[in-house]
Chains A and B, each alone.
Chain A
Amino acid sequence: MTLLVAAAAAGEPSCYSRLTNEWFCAQYLSDYRQEITDATVQHLQITVASVVLGVLIAFPLALIARRLPRLETLIVGAATAVYTIPSLALLPLLVPFTGLSATTVVIGLALYALTILVRSMLEGLRSVPEDVRESAVGLGYGATRLLVLVELPLALPVIMAGLRVATVSTVALTTVGSLVSYGGLGNLIADGVSTNFRAELMTAAILCVAIAVLLDVLIVVAQRILTPWTRGARA
């Protein structure tokens, strides 16, 4: 309270004081710069770690599912079941095993990303034309070379589409991690709600959407660089 009085006495009340409590406030941005930066960095770290972990698990799963159709039903079914569980319920279910840590959030979010990624990988690999595969085998390609040099590049557009969806939703879901105090910008949102701090809330919300858009654009650019042939075909 003394701080507020001092600010008021010094001249104009800041736009985030209890009295004005404005939604948009430049003063808040400069005064709380460190806190906002830390939250944004944590948000990015959790998001990237979750998506990378999701890709690392999804890839072998997709390969196994493709090889063994009987397991495919099981893997896709289990992934769908996980996807059905609300994020706020999934995180507590992991707490007995991983405690109140960033690991809990990363594993939980990786499970959601996994669902989207396994599906898009299976769909992408399935979209490779059979005659292309046969020509490669006819040219003497082994299983590994066929996968890396022929199938993966051709499946890439579909896989990247899945990666975009997974990344954007992971950015949004990271906020729920504030339940175990590792929610990046979600921590600011939670604090904004409990202290009725509008500028903090609005800033965090806008930053979340901005991060989602930024990562989405990055993936699109990466895909363009990785698959130059799709550009030529479209033009």
Chain B
Amino acid sequence: MNLLLDTWDYLVTAGHWTGEDGMLQLLLQQLLLSLTAMVLAAAIGLPTALWLGHLGRGGFLAINISNVGRAVPTFALLALFVTADWPGTDTLGPYGRAGLATVLALTLFALPPVITNSYVGIREVSPAVKQAADGMGMTGRQRFVRVELPLAAPLVLLGLRLALVQVWATATIAALVAGPGLGRVITDGFYRTNYAKGIAGAVVVAVVALLLELVAAAGVRLLDPTRRASSPNRHPGMSGAPPTVTEEAGDVGS
């Protein structure tokens, strides 16, 4: 149990946090990487998946991209990127060593949960509701914006939340291929048999992961229109519908 005490010592030593390559610097770098990848994945994945869902096409692709994403090891893809001539290990501004390779890999692994959940979310909107929207004379676009999108919101947000977990995990693994981020504290510690350092890095990564998850959960609660809408004087049937959808697709993304 001496190792745990050493780990604690490492964590409370100010020198390990500050300065160039201090944990604070690496933490910010990894947050920046994750944020960039999330923005890229949302910018690419959301419009594609929502539009395909609206049209009802490309379902096979949208569902199976998650299965593919799950089977390809993040470590292997990162390794391939770094070893290839492009993107290689080139430093990319604030993203650090192998920055481009890392951002690309993170974005690729964030896409499957975003695409699958958004697609399923739009598709699972009950046909009766869609027909009602058409019957009211809504155009395709109005139906999409006012009916399908709000009803799909829980699943779309779940997809983004799962993507965030995935991105943070992959960003940590980037260190196994000499990439940037906090994972470097872990790999450095282990490769130089300074296990206290490695475990300290793991503690920081894990704590930040849990904090991110809490923030994401709070964000989902704030943004979800179906939760806001379920005021007590609503018809019970209306607020009852969305949760079943969430449950069904929960295993699609995880």
What string of 1s and 0s marks CB contacts (under 8 Å) between A157-185 and chain B?
00001100100110111111011100000
Report yes or no: A168 in contact with B71, Cβ–Cβ below 8 A: yes
Partner of A192, one of B83, B173, B186, B213: B83
Complex: how many Å from CA A171 to CA B75?
Answer: 12
A152 beta carbon closer than 8 Å to chain B: no
B169 beta carbon closer than 8 Å to chain A: yes
Report yes or no: A96 in contact with B3, Cβ–Cβ below 8 A: yes
Interface residues of B in 186-218 (CB under 8 A from A): 186-187, 189-190, 195, 198-199, 201-203, 205-206, 209-210, 212-213
Report yes or no: A205 in contact with B76, Cβ–Cβ below 8 A: yes
Q: Tell me the count of chain A residues lying within 8 A, CB to CB, of chain B.
A: 50
Interface residues of B in 220-248 (CB under 8 A from A): 247
Complex: how many Å from CA A186 to CA B189?
Answer: 19
Interface size classification for chain B:
35 or more
Report yes or no: A165 in contact with B70, Cβ–Cβ below 8 A: yes
Complex: how many Å from CA A172 to CA B205?
Answer: 20
A119 beta carbon closer than 8 Å to chain B: yes
Q: How many A-B residue pairs have CB under 8 A?
A: 149
Given the known interface contacts A84-B210, A193-B82, the answer about A116 and B75 at a Cβ–Cβ threshold of 8 Å is: no
What string of 1s and 0s marks CB contacts (under 8 Å) between A111-129 and chain B?
0000110011001000000
- A83, A96, A174 — which one has the most chain B CB atoms within 10 A of its CB? A96
Report yes or no: B251 in contact with A172, Cβ–Cβ below 8 A: no
Q: List 6 A-B contacts (CB under 8 A).
A: A86-B173, A88-B183, A92-B190, A95-B195, A179-B190, A186-B73
Residues of B within 8 A of A (CB): 1, 3-4, 7, 67, 70-77, 79-80, 82-83, 165, 168-170, 172-173, 175-178, 183, 186-187, 189-190, 195, 198-199, 201-203, 205-206, 209-210, 212-213, 247, 250-251, 254
Residues of A within 8 A of B (CB): 80-81, 83-93, 95-96, 115-116, 119-120, 123, 161-162, 165, 168-169, 171-176, 178-180, 186, 189-190, 192-193, 196, 198, 201-202, 204-205, 208-209, 212-213, 216
